Amino acid sequence: AQRVTQPEKLLSVFKGAPVELKCNYSYSGSPELFWYVQYSRQRLQLLLRHISRESIKGFTADLNKGETSFHLKKPFAQEEDSAMYYCAFGGSNYQLIWGAGTKLIIKP
Amino acid sequence: DVKVTQSSRYLVKRTGEKVFLECVQDMDHENMFWYRQDPGLGLRLIYFSYDVKMKEKGDIPEGYSVSREKKERFSLILESASTNQTSMYLCASRSFTRGDNEQFFGPGTRLTVL
């Protein structure tokens, strides 16, 4: 079955420390992977997608097909990165399959 | 810039009431979605619509129905609200013609059923 796993419900790191939000997927085809972010009292919005291979707000994510992972990384966390992060992938039927989300807290 | 709007940010209803949640998008997107967002459960798909007058059940359709009479509007209906439907409801849209799976979200409606 198609599934996205985000193993951490909560991740707390100090400002300036590296951040890695984990995402694993189960899908036999070529997935289209996304990271979405939801800041407090704001709408869910796209952070980045694996196709574009760009860095947004200092975040990057590399698709590792061997490990079926798409972990989100940032070398130096900032307080404004505190938010809810969701990993999702697009399967074959135009829907997105969502992970349960990771709440990231950046401590000052 | 895609705009997806939802009729209410906060809604309080009583058990047994019929509840309508409205969603409007202004980018001529073919596909629209309704999700529930609950802590620890992520986003769960309730219903989606490929196009006008088309609808498909998602993962948790029980207790809900939808209506898509116009392309820009997708309504979620709780026929008889129950306390376990207290949740954040998110609407999203997607362009079928653009060919990728990116979805654009509304601000959400936080529904409380008493």
Q: Name the phi and psi angles at A62, rounded to 5.
A: -115, 135
B47: confidence class by pLDDT, cuts 50, 70, 90: very high
Say yes or no: B45 contacts chain A, CB-CB below 8 A.
Answer: yes
A95: confidence class by pLDDT, cuts 50, 70, 90: confident
How buried is A74 (Cβ within 10 angstroms: 0-12 exposed, 13-18 middle, 19+ buried)? buried
Q: Which candidate in A4, A8, A34, A44 is best for mutational testing of the B interface (most B CBs within 10 A)?
A: A44
More confident site: A66 or B18: B18
pLDDT at B53 over 90: yes
pLDDT at B1: 66
Average pLDDT over residues A9-20: 97
CB-CB under 8 Å, A49 with B102: yes
Q: What is the CATH number of the domain that holds B88?
A: 2.60.40.10
What distance in Å separates the CA atoms of residue A82 and residue B68, rounded to the nearest whole number?
36
More confident site: A90 or B1: A90
pLDDT at B89 over 70: yes
Average pLDDT over residues B73-96: 96
What letter does residue B93 receive in the DSSP assignment? Answer: E
Q: What is the CATH number of the domain that holds A68?
A: 2.60.40.10
Find tokens 């505190």 and name the residue: A82
Domain that holds residue A69: 3-103
pLDDT at B100: 76
B44 C-beta neighbours (distance < 10 Å), count: 16
What the block records as the tokens of A80 is: 């404004």
What the block records as the tokens of A37 is: 């972010």
How many domains does one find in chain A?
Answer: 1
**Cβ atoms of residues A11 and A21 within 8 Å:** yes
Average pLDDT over residues A79-97: 88
Does a structural domain hold residue A75? yes
| Side chain identity, residue A32 | E
What distance in Å separates the CA atoms of residue B114 and residue B109, rounded to the nearest whole number?
16
How many domains does one find in chain B?
Answer: 1
What distance in Å separates the CA atoms of residue B79 and residue B9, rounded to the nearest whole number?
20
Domain that holds residue B28: 4-97+105-113
Q: B44 to chain A: which residues are within 8 Å by CB? A: 98
Does a structural domain hold residue A108? no
Average pLDDT over residues B8-12: 95
Does a structural domain hold residue A94? yes
pLDDT, tens digit (0-9, with 9 covering 90-100), for B55-72: 999 999 999 999 999 999
Q: Name residues whose C-beta falls within 8 Å of residue B88's C-beta, 6 or more positions apart in sequence.
A: B36, B37, B38, B108, B109, B110, B111
Does a structural domain hold residue A41? yes
pLDDT, tens digit (0-9, with 9 covering 90-100), for A16-57: 999 999 999 998 777 889 999 999 999 999 999 887 777 789
